[in-house]
């Protein structure tokens, strides 16, 4: 086991999958000569050449659609969005082409493509460059949505996503690229899509968190441990399909649930998890499900306001204490 960053783990996954399958290619803005805007694709041009690692013009709708077309003709594209904010321009091709092609062609054209890049909040870049879009993509049948929170998950899930025969939205967290962790050395190490991971076991309250919220939830759990509350922290890792069974089993044990996310609260993934838990585990709940979400405002620039817009350890601690009726 080597200790590496999420950035390096993603880089390894890309390198190994490019080496493994000639049909895999990587395209996006600044992925080749510039080594990637966030250096996730560092060295790949050197190793695989310009046929396999391709710099695109700034033309998100165009290259997203080109990727889907290439997948229809037998290739396995990895399309990088410099950030997922720019994927908004490409949503027509992601939603109307990639997600629906298999269905509307009666099963003839599956689309093995990965759309990946950083998403979620970044550091003081204001409203257009700092937002979480997973609930958009998770809405659509036909797409799979993956959000890793550790280097090992990042590597194992990206490799599975590239090998998957369906379109996968793979959202990395812009603030987390430098986070370190242990990653298995086995080049065939993968993590299956659709399986949640229990990041910390506990007995009193379940916290479901993803992406940036996972380390924050773990810190909150540490604080709460000192206050005598045992928290179980679950990272779904895949938003669609959602491993609701693991969450239900945990709630049956703890009878209390807090869901944490950095995205806006309305129509979000937290709302979906809350609804499913009400349907599946209502009789096991000893308190209403508590949501902790990002503020319902566009992301501000000013440092103090930005901090206020994002959930933190204190808000998760307070939510857990609320569902445990401790205050």
Partner 1 sequence: MPARLPSLIIRPFMSKQTAAPPSAAKAEEQQSSTGAGVMDAPTDVDQEQLKRERDTAKEQQKDRLAGLSPDHLIELYRQMLLIRRFEEKSAEVYVAGKIGGFCHLYIGQEAVGVGAIAALRKDDYVLASYREHGLALAKGMSARSIMAELFGKVTGCSRGKGGSMHMFDKELGFLGGHAIVGGQIPLATGTAFASKYQGTDQVTLCFFGEAAVNQGAFHESLNMAQLWKLPCIYICENNQYGMGTSLARAMSLRDIAQKACAYEMAAEFVDGMDVLAVREATMRAVERARKDYLPTLLEIRTYRFMGHSMSDPGNYRTRAEIEKYQERDPIKLFSASLLEEKVVDEKALEEIDRKVREEVEDSLRFAEESPVPDPEELYTNVYANPIDPSRK
Cβ distance to partner 1 smaller for residue 109 or 139: 109
Which residues between 278 and 297 bind partner 1 (CB under 8 A)?
Answer: none
Task: Report if residue 193 touches partner 1, rule: CB under 8 A.
Answer: yes
In angstroms, the CA 165 to CA 110 distance is 7
Task: Report if residue 247 touches partner 1, rule: CB under 8 A.
Answer: no
Per this entry, what is the length of the chain? 327
Task: Report if residue 151 touches partner 1, rule: CB under 8 A.
Answer: no
Residue selected from 3, 59, 227, 307 as contacting partner 1 according to rule CB under 8 A = 59
Task: Report if residue 101 touches partner 1, rule: CB under 8 A.
Answer: yes
Shortest distance (Å) from residue 54 CB to partner 1? 8
Task: Report if residue 244 touches partner 1, rule: CB under 8 A.
Answer: yes
Pairing outcome for strands 197-200 and 231-235: antiparallel
Q: How would you classify residue 221: left for phi > 0, otherwise alpha for psi between -120 and 50, otherwise beta?
A: alpha
Stretch of residues binding partner 1 (CB under 8 A), selected from 95-103, 148-156, 169-177, 288-296:
95-103
In angstroms, the CA 259 to CA 209 distance is 6
Shortest distance (Å) from residue 57 CB to partner 1? 6
In angstroms, the CA 83 to CA 9 distance is 18
Task: Report if residue 70 touches partner 1, rule: CB under 8 A.
Answer: yes
CA dihedral sign of residues 93, 98, 100, 105? positive
In angstroms, the CA 174 to CA 6 distance is 10
Are 193 and 160 in contact by the 8 Å Cβ rule? The answer is yes
- Per the annotation, the verdict on 47 as an active-site residue is no
- Per the annotation, the verdict on 284 as an active-site residue is no
Task: Report if residue 164 touches partner 1, rule: CB under 8 A.
Answer: yes
- Angstrom distances, CA of residue 240 to CA of 106, 113, 116, 302: 22, 15, 15, 33
Task: Report if residue 97 touches partner 1, rule: CB under 8 A.
Answer: yes
The dihedrals phi and psi of 122, each to the nearest 5 degrees, come to -120, -170
Cβ distance to partner 1 smaller for residue 109 or 189: 109
Task: Report if residue 228 touches partner 1, rule: CB under 8 A.
Answer: no
In angstroms, the CA 171 to CA 138 distance is 11
Task: Report if residue 241 touches partner 1, rule: CB under 8 A.
Answer: yes
Binding stretches for partner 1 (CB under 8 A): 25, 51, 56-57, 59, 61-75, 92-93, 96-97, 101-110, 112, 141-142, 144, 164-166, 192-195, 238, 241, 243-246
Q: Write out the catalytic residue numbers.
A: 60, 129
């Amino acid at each position: 086991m080597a200790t590496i960053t999420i950035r390096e783990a993603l880089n390894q996954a890309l390198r190994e999958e490019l080496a493994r399958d000639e049909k895999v290619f990587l395209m996006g803005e600044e992925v080749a000569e510039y080594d990637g805007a966030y250096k996730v694709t560092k060295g790949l041009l050197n190793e695989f050449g310009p046929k396999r690692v391709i710099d695109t013009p700034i033309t998100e709708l165009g290259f997203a659609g080109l990727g889907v077309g290439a997948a229809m003709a037998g290739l396995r594209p990895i399309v990088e969005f410099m950030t997922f904010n720019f994927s908004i321009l490409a949503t027509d091709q992601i939603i109307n082409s990639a997600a629906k092609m298999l269905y509307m062609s009666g099963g003839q054209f599956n689309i093995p493509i990965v759309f990946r890049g950083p998403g979620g909040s970044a550091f003081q870049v204001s409203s257009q460059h700092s937002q979480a879009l997973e609930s958009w993509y998770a809405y659509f049948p036909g797409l799979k949505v993956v959000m890793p929170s550790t280097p090992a998950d990042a590597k194992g899930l990206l490799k599975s996503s590239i090998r998957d025969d369906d379109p996968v939205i793979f959202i990395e967290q812009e603030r987390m690229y430098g986070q370190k962790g242990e990653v298995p050395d086995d080049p065939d190490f993968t993590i299956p899509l659709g399986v949640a991971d229990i990041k910390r076991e506990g007995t009193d309250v379940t916290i479901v968190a993803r992406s940036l919220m996972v380390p924050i939830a773990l810190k909150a759990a540490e604080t709460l441990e000192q206050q005598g509350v045992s928290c179980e922290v679950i990272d779904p890792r895949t938003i669609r399909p959602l491993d609701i069974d693991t969450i239900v089993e945990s709630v049956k044990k703890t009878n209390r649930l807090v869901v944490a996310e950095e995205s806006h609260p309305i129509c979000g993934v937290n709302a979906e998890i809350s609804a499913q838990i009400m349907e599946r585990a209502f009789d096991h709940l000893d308190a209403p499900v508590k949501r902790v979400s990002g503020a319902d405002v566009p992301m501000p620039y000013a440092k103090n306001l930005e901090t206020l817009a994002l959930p933190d350890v204190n808000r998760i601690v307070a939510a857990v204490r609320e569902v445990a009726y401790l205050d």
